[in-house]
Amino acid sequence: MIIFGIETSCDETAVAILNSDGHIFSNKLISQIDIHKKFGGVVPEIAARSHVEFLPHLVEEAFKEAKISIKDIDAIAATGGPGLIGGVMVGVMYGKTLASCMSKKFIAVNHLEGHALVPRMTENIEYPYLLLLVSGGHCQIVIVEELGKYYIISRTIDDAAGEAFDKVAKLLNIGYPGGPIVEQYAKKGNERAFEFPKPMLKKAEYNFSFSGLKTAVRNQIHKLGEISEEDKADVCASFQYTVSKIINYKILQALKLFGSKFPNSKNIVISGGVAANQYLRNKLGENVKNLGYKLFYPPIDLCTDNAVMIAYAGMERLKAGFRSNLDFEPKSRWNLDEIIY
């Protein structure tokens, strides 16, 4: 079977074509970073208009590159939410129209499910597994029991981890999106230069909170006054170190629950844009290895938003006999445990 995937939930316009063996025929993406950069964040209305402009060309290019005709595909998967509603509407309308005109199956994919499942495309990861989903909009620990069955252990009560990286980069005026830039700066800094607070590290507290950490970073930057490149590196390294400590602590908490529910499952997956961070991967990998668990993560280009993950989740659903109705409504909010299956 061949599936065509569309992702438009934020500031990446992306399409992909893949088959049921996970072979990628085409993976196309236009990042709108340069368009939104000057505003210091994504402007929803501009993002939606850009998706309208970019999508038709991207679709044409993808099919040309794949040397596949639209007639040859079995289904179309589009991100149905959660995300910026204007963008989600563009992708869903495009997908539905194509499905309707070409008499193909349509599958509305939950964006988070895309992040959650795509590691299974490149690695042999059996259900159930413990998932740390860390992106610009989300920070949660989830037990992925099987396709469509997700048990959310923890969420963030304020900012997402990626959002915290982006805000620190903004405070330091080093660019957008902040994650990869902070990671580069951190390589040159001293991670023990500043002691930042690690909120919510109380016993039996599963949820995340990053807003206190962000405020502490802001206060430290003000205290430094005129800030050198070396200071910036130290702030980034100390911040990243603190995020890593928080994440590792929360995973250890979650493992107690996961271990009691599924004692024979030893797989942990980190996914979402922040999973591209090599420092965080390495630290988490080492820690869980000591506990007898193995950490998996997708290749970097499948961590950040892309359409392969949407096509892949769509393919898992297609194989399980699932399809969406053409009256599916795009959703700005859509939790993993609200997916009806």
Binding site for Zn ion (CB under 5 A): 135, 305
Tokens of 176: 């957008």
Phi-psi region of 200 (alpha: psi -120 to 50; beta: other; left: phi over 0): left
Order of strands, edge to edge, in the sheet holding 2-7?
Answer: 24-31, 12-19, 2-7, 75-81, 105-110
Residue 255 interacting entry, from Zn ion, ligand KG4, none, C-beta within 5 to 8 Å by type: none
Say what the alpha-carbon torsion angle 160, 90, 331, 214 is, to the nearest 10 degrees: 10
Question: Segment near ligand KG4 (CB under 6 A), from 56-64, 84-92, 121-129, 159-167?
Answer: 159-167
Q: Does 140 bind ligand KG4 (CB under 6 A)?
A: no
Whole-number minimum distance, CB 307 to ligand KG4, in Å?
Answer: 12
CA distance 339 to 341: 6
Residue number, 135 or 238, with CB nearest to ligand KG4: 135
Residue number, 148 or 162, with CB nearest to Zn ion: 162
Rule CB under 6 A: choose which of 87, 136, 148, 189 binds ligand KG4. 136
Rule CB under 6 A: choose which of 179, 189, 199, 314 binds ligand KG4. 179
Rule CB under 6 A: choose which of 305, 309, 334, 339 binds ligand KG4. 305
CA atoms within 13 A on the CB side of 142: 31
Q: Does 177 bind ligand KG4 (CB under 6 A)?
A: yes
Residue number, 135 or 253, with CB nearest to Zn ion: 135
Rule CB under 6 A: choose which of 121, 274, 308, 310 binds ligand KG4. 274
CA distances (Å), 268 to each of 57, 206, 265, 288, in order? 38, 17, 9, 8
Residue number, 134 or 221, with CB nearest to ligand KG4: 134
262-272 b/e with 16+ CB inside 10 Å = b?
Answer: beebbbbbbbb
Tokens of 338: 């609200």
Rule CB under 6 A: choose which of 209, 265, 304, 324 binds ligand KG4. 304
Residue number, 35 or 68, with CB nearest to ligand KG4: 35
CA distance 161 to 99: 36
Count, residues near ligand KG4 per rule CB under 6 A: 20
Q: Does 81 bind ligand KG4 (CB under 6 A)?
A: no
**Residue 213: partners with Cβ closer than 8 Å, 6 or more residues away:** 164, 196, 197, 198, 199, 239, 242, 243, 246
Residue 166 interacting entry, from Zn ion, ligand KG4, none, C-beta within 5 to 8 Å by type: ligand KG4
Which residues is 7 bridged to in the sheet? 14
Please give the residue ranges that form the binding site for ligand KG4 (CB under 6 A): 10, 135-137, 162-163, 165-166, 177-180, 183, 272-274, 276-277, 304-305
